[in-house]
Amino acid sequence: MKIFETNWEGGDGIHFFMQGWEPTYGRPKAVLALIHGLGEHTGRYAHVANALSGSGYVLIGFDLRGHGKSGGARGHFPSLETVLEDIRQFFQQVTQRHPETPQFLYGHSIGALLALTYTLRRGAALQGVIATGTALHTPLREQKAKVALANSLGSIAPGLTLSSGLDPNTISRDPEVVKKYSSDPLVHDRASLGLGKASLSAIDYCLAHAREFPDPLLLMHGMDDVLCYPSGSKDFARLAQDGGADVTLKLWEGLHHEIHNEPEQVEVFRTMIDWLDQHVK
């Protein structure tokens, strides 16, 4: 497997870090553009890339603004449109590196929410989308004070940050995963009001327009996920299928939020690869 790292500067001066993992030999079947979750970074997906590379797939990800090795205030999104533009620029970088390779979009958690939103809003001409642990139904909706702050001050004081309240013990049943996450210097627990407002806007948009989803979609969710409830993936799958979309919903009994970091991860990777093999053209 070949690994590369690079950077680019966004239109507003933010520097973005991008890295990728490519098969050592042969022409890749497709490239997966990765959007990671809240407070984490693309480096946590190297083992996912290893599994995909072994089956002929490229994984390329960028650290969202305010995350990992990218610039910007930690955990801050100025607006949903700003982040969607970041993703558009990311795809430009991916296409420059692999101009003739079919493209899939792969997102986890808030990254999955952004992946669905981007596909709906920007009409991405993709081979398909993989979304895991999608942040459509979350405890945020139950925290009325935070919702009120995000809605009322998200435009006035978008840079105001709060703790995300994420409990590392809920991401995986593997204690080593939790230990590494908790000690990772690139992981943080910050979320700005701008990010909160952007997330709420994306949730509302996705559920309102799910019937218009244009591309094949693999939705996977751990049934014991308490960070992003599986009901969100169920609802989106039902709505998208009602609109005629090619949707595969896979619910994993007993798995927590990061299904790619659970003891059953090999089965998760096999499901992803089998679906990719069926949809790559």
Active site residues: 109, 225, 257
Ramachandran angles phi, psi of 70, nearest 5°: -85, 160
Residue 222 to residues 208, 228, 253: CA-CA distances in angstroms?
Answer: 24, 9, 6
Report helix, strand or coil for 61.
strand
For the chain, give the longest Cα–Cα distance. Answer: 53
What would you report as the CA-atom Rg of the chain, rounded to the nearest whole angstrom? 17
Between CA 31 and CA 107 the distance in angstroms is: 13
The residues, any chain, with a CB within 8 Å of residue 81's CB and separated by 6 or more, are none
Closest Cα partner for 126 from 204, 62, 217?
217
Q: Are 105 and 124 in contact (CB under 8 A)?
A: yes
Q: Roughly how many angstroms between the first and final C-alpha of the chain, as a whole number? A: 23
